[in-house]
Amino acid sequence: MRSARPLVRPTRFDRLLAPLHRWIWSDARRRVQKLISFGETETDGGRDILRAAEITSDPLLRRLYLVHAIDELRHGALFRQRAASLMPTLRSSSAPTFRADWLARGGHGADDLDVDDESDDTMLAFLHLSEKAAASRFTVYRDVLKGDAPTCAVFNEILHDETFHMNYTLVQLARVSPQHHKRRLWRARLSRLWKAYLRVAVALAGLIGGLLLIVQYFVLLPPFAWMAKRALRREPRGWAPIPVEGRDAMKRQY
Amino acid sequence: MKILGVSAHYHDSAAALVVDGVPVCAVQEERLSRRKNDAAFPLSAIEWCLDRGRLEPDDLDAVVFYERPMLKFDRILTCALRAFPRSWRSFPQAMKSSLGEKVWVRGVISSHLGVPAAKILFTRHHQSHAAAAFLTAPTRRAAILTTDGVGEWATLSVGHGARRDDGSVAITQLREIRYPHSLGMLYSTFTAFLGFAVNEDEYKVMGLAGYGQPTMVDKVRRLIRPAPDGAFELDLDYFEYHTTAARSYSARFVDLFGPSRNPYEPIDLETSDGRRWADCAASVQRVLEDTLVGLARSLRAETGLSDLCLGGGVALNGVANARILAESGFDRLFVPSAPGDAGCALGAALYADRVHFGNPDREVPDHPFWGPEVDDSELSRVASEDGQLVDRVDEAALVEGIADDLASGRVVGWMDGALELGPRALGHRSILASAASTAMRDRLNRDIKFRDEFRPFAPVVPLEAADRYFELPPGGMRLARFMSGVFTVRPEWRAQLGAITHVDGTARLQALDREMSPRLYALLEAYGRRTGVPVLLNTSFNLSGEPIVNRAVEGYSTFLRCGIDVLVAGNTRVTKKTRPQVSSSTEASTFVGSGS
């Protein structure tokens, strides 16, 4: 029997962010974009878990991973369907472009797990923590979406599955690594922290790098741009001959 | 001489190994990594090729990359400069993308494989396409036409190839059309406009075109016009792909064709927007075909040759290929199984062997099966562990049993031998079903492939029987060998071939040569004995958004996730008994606990 409400308590951090989430979800366009983004993340996560099912040598884990993957892929479809049903309410018909999830994805697709190289216990610890984090955040989302019953229902449905995923990953972790499962969980926590730091660092570096390149673009490039445009005017139209190259041509990169 | 070919970094990366002039193996990275259109450096594919060839990297005489990265960077930088200052948004992105790994290919290959830099060679992108098309084709002399989105600068090239009596080979590329004037980009722009994924969903535009009328051909012709010398040029006011990465079409394009389709909205052909999108697809398809036919006709007149080898991603357009064959004057048209960038890995390796090193020509086996073999014991093990019905039978009994299944309307996942190179499932990783009714098409779209209902399915038919069911022009059999042409289903058979007959009465058929895939051929014969029509629906063994399966266990997990009834790998047959069903409610943890 399904309970009316899954018993997942959001973390203090997620509860603190509830006003921000309420603001994000209050706008229809952002709501659609968030749902689309969750759809992508859940689908990516589903494929990762599917991969884990295909490579594990443990028959029980294979079956559980498969069920889990099917759930995640179904969640992706649920998010996409809900986004599609909200789209007609947007003023413009073009796909929304807002992304509010570049640092904090809803599932585990962004954690860049190399499934092929992970052992079962590492995978289970990672999945357990990811599901727990997702369930915590989805609980907040469900609570801030009380005014949008269909979207709220989507989160409710997914939360039921997430509860199962949290439970089975923990039980199985204790089975496959009875002596070290707590250590595995701590390592997974540290790994998630490290990856979160890397994501922030990469995003920041990307931002700084982008700004530097834009400065260079406007400071250094104008004379070259003028020359390139001038050369373009002289460029012949239509066919261009292909020069015959010498024997060493294949040693060149240009 | 041992030569490794590599394509990477844009879409569909791959590796291929050529030993003593003959391909040994080739595989796309996506088939190993399980990420569709994986563009990453194909380390897994390279490792698999070296394992398969029992080689260490030191044993290689050369590693050939399929294009010249610095020339490509030159194009990216030049286009950013030409579009100054409109390119300010895309410039940082383009630089970060290019300077990260893409221009340091020599170093990347050298560090990954530990081979000296002097052993690393580079072909031009369209040279690789030309070599992949000509050097794998069973012809002595042929004209060569390659066309795609863009390589380094070239977007289309023409030339000819010859296998001389002394064993030497010449591939001569005469001239090219350069970026941003590109047939591939024109088609991709419409792909994006119609809400599909660029570089992936172009075939959906082709499928959608069947539902529309080319009512907007005049509008499309405003976008592409003939150049005075017989080439073509695009009116760049309608495009933005050359100035920004955000969108490929301009506001003027939208003024001309109306609002674009939201990718998340289904196409409803009953609505005016749905019909407009179908008409757009039909119109750009018509213009693409007309342009290609015109170019091919000129090439035929110029070279006087009777064979044409076609390469590049645009060569995946089976409707255009069939028109080129019918109208350009060439007697035979050769399209490799992987005309896109994945095939360039093989093309680059063959080009280096024949042209750079001057080795004598060797006959290249005329099949697409260069990938890993399926291991049926793996299927047997995992399916038995899950309590499925597993049978290991001899080949004759297996074929007869599967023919019975297909005749009774069951859907079969079919894995046999080595994996195909290229995007088409040509009988080694296929989903097979009865081709008889539209209900089967709808069932496959709805319950198995989970994809748009307008998408057609392809048939496979024994070579000798193809002409009975399909209107094949002279040379059509060759084009149908790798499912590269779309041909008309004979009107009298359309009712009996409802699952594979597209709305416009056509089908992208595979005419199967017994030697190429004897087991599938035997299955077609057995199915024909039961139903009187030896034609099966043959679609790639994957679900929407996933690459074609490679290993038996991947086929098995796909089998469990969709409505396939029977799975075959080698001599192992699995009949679906149960799907893994675990309730997501509290009793699930009991299940978990009880299994531990």
Distance from CA of B157 to the nearest CA of A (A): 9
Q: Which chain B residue's Cα is nearest to A6?
A: B585
Rounded distance, CA B376 to CA B360, Å? 38
Q: Do B596 and A171 touch (CB under 8 A)?
A: yes
Residue A189 is assigned to a structural domain of this protein: no
Distance from CA of A69 to the nearest CA of B (A): 9
Q: Do A67 and B229 touch (CB under 8 A)?
A: no
Taking phi first (over 0 means left), then psi (-120 to 50 degrees means alpha), and beta for anything else, what does residue B440 get?
alpha
Rounded distance, CA B247 to CA B571, Å? 49
**DSSP state string for A129-171:** HHHHHHHHHHHHHHHHTTT-HHHHHHHHHHHHHHHHHHHHHHH
Pick from B61, B578, B592, B594 the residue to mutate for testing the A interface (most A CBs within 10 Å): B592
Ranges of each domain in chain B: 2-136+338-365, 183-332, 371-575
Answer for the pair A84, B264: CB distance below 8 angstroms, yes or no: yes
Residue A104 has pLDDT above 90, yes or no: no
Which of A50, A59, A95 is nearest residue B385 as measured by Cβ atoms? A59
Residue A208 is assigned to a structural domain of this protein: no
Which of B70, B82, B92 is nearest residue A228 as measured by Cβ atoms? B82
| List of chain B residues whose C-beta atoms are within 8 Å of the C-beta of residue A135 | none
Distance from CA of A15 to the nearest CA of B (A): 25
Rounded distance, CA B213 to CA A71, Å? 41
Answer for the pair B190, A200: CB distance below 8 angstroms, yes or no: no
- At the top level of CATH, the class of B183-332 is alpha beta
Among positive and negative, which fits the CA dihedral B105, B110, B115, B116? positive
| Confidence band, pLDDT 50/70/90 cuts, at residue A109 | very low
Residue A105 is assigned to a structural domain of this protein: yes
Q: Do A228 and B157 touch (CB under 8 A)?
A: no
Residue A215 is assigned to a structural domain of this protein: no
| List of chain B residues whose C-beta atoms are within 8 Å of the C-beta of residue A232 | 82
| List of chain B residues whose C-beta atoms are within 8 Å of the C-beta of residue A246 | none
Distance of CA B266 to the CA centre of its chain: 25
Q: Which chain A residue's Cα is nearest to B173?
A: A242
Rounded distance, CA B66 to CA A252, Å? 12
| Confidence band, pLDDT 50/70/90 cuts, at residue A7 | low
pLDDT tens per residue across span A78-101: 999 999 888 877 765 455 444 434
Q: Do B580 and A222 touch (CB under 8 A)?
A: no
| List of chain A residues whose C-beta atoms are within 8 Å of the C-beta of residue B159 | 242
Burial (CB < 10 A; 0-12, 13-18, 19+), residue B261, is buried
| Model-level ipTM above the cut of 0.90 | no
Once rounded to an integer, what is the mean pLDDT over residues A122-141? 92
Which of A73, A160, A225 is nearest residue B585 as measured by Cβ atoms? A160
Q: Do B580 and A83 touch (CB under 8 A)?
A: no
Taking phi first (over 0 means left), then psi (-120 to 50 degrees means alpha), and beta for anything else, what does residue A183 get?
alpha
Question: Which residue positions in chain B have pLDDT lower than 70?
Answer: 578-596
- Please tell us whether the domain made up of B2-136+338-365 is placed in CATH 1.10.3720.10: no
Q: Which residue, among B533, B565, B540, has the nearest Cα to B415 in the 3D structure?
A: B540
| List of chain B residues whose C-beta atoms are within 8 Å of the C-beta of residue A69 | 557, 561
Q: What is the pLDDT of residue A248?
A: 85
Rounded distance, CA B428 to CA B520, Å? 8
Q: Which domain holds residue A59?
A: 12-181
Distance from CA of A253 to the nearest CA of B (A): 5
Rounded distance, CA B415 to CA B384, Å? 18
Instruction: Give me the total of CB pairs closer than 8 Å, taking one residue from chain A and one from chain B.
Output: 182
Number of other CB atoms surrounding residue A193 within 10 Å = 10
Residue A224 is assigned to a structural domain of this protein: no
Residues of A (33-62) whose Cβ lies below 8 Å from B? 36, 43, 47, 50-51, 53-55, 59-60, 62
Containing B25, the helix (H) or strand (E) segment is strand B22-28
Q: How many domains is chain A partitioned into structurally? A: 1
In chain B, what is the greatest distance between 2 CA atoms, to the nearest angstrom? 77
Per residue, what are the HEC states of B325-376?
Answer: HHHCCCCEEECCCCCCHHHHHHHHHHHHHHHHCCCCCCCCCCCCEEEEECCH
Pick from B34, B81, B257 the residue to mutate for testing the A interface (most A CBs within 10 Å): B81
| List of chain B residues whose C-beta atoms are within 8 Å of the C-beta of residue A60 | 595-596
Interface contact A105, partner B, CB < 8 A: no
**B589: its two tokens:** 């943890």
The CATH number of residue A27's host domain is 1.20.1260.10
Residue A75 has pLDDT above 50, yes or no: yes
Answer for the pair B279, B216: CB distance below 8 angstroms, yes or no: yes
The separation between the first and the last C-alpha atoms of chain B, rounded to the nearest angstrom, is 53
Residue A103 has pLDDT above 80, yes or no: no
| SS3 category, B224 | strand
Q: Which residue has the higher pLDDT, B590 or A108?
A: A108
Q: Do A250 and B122 touch (CB under 8 A)?
A: yes
Answer for the pair B521, B465: CB distance below 8 angstroms, yes or no: no
Which of A67, A232, A242 is nearest residue B157 as measured by Cβ atoms? A242
Number of other CB atoms surrounding residue A249 within 10 Å = 17
Rounded distance, CA B70 to CA A252, Å? 9
pLDDT tens per residue across span A8-33: 678 888 888 888 888 888 888 899 99
Answer for the pair A237, B233: CB distance below 8 angstroms, yes or no: yes
Rounded distance, CA B219 to CA B214, Å? 10
**DSSP state string for A34-91:** HHHHHHHHHHHHHHHHHHHHHH-S-HHHHHHHHHHHHHHHHHHHHHHHHHHHHGGGSS
Q: Does pTM top 0.95 for this prediction?
A: no
The CATH architecture assigned to B371-575 reads Alpha-Beta Complex (3.90)
Containing B282, the helix (H) or strand (E) segment is helix B272-303
Q: Do A225 and B122 touch (CB under 8 A)?
A: no
Q: Which chain A residue's Cα is nearest to B44?
A: A116
Q: What is the pLDDT of residue B246?
A: 78
Q: Which chain B residue's Cα is nearest to A229?
A: B82
Number of H-type helices and E-type strands within chain B: 21, 25
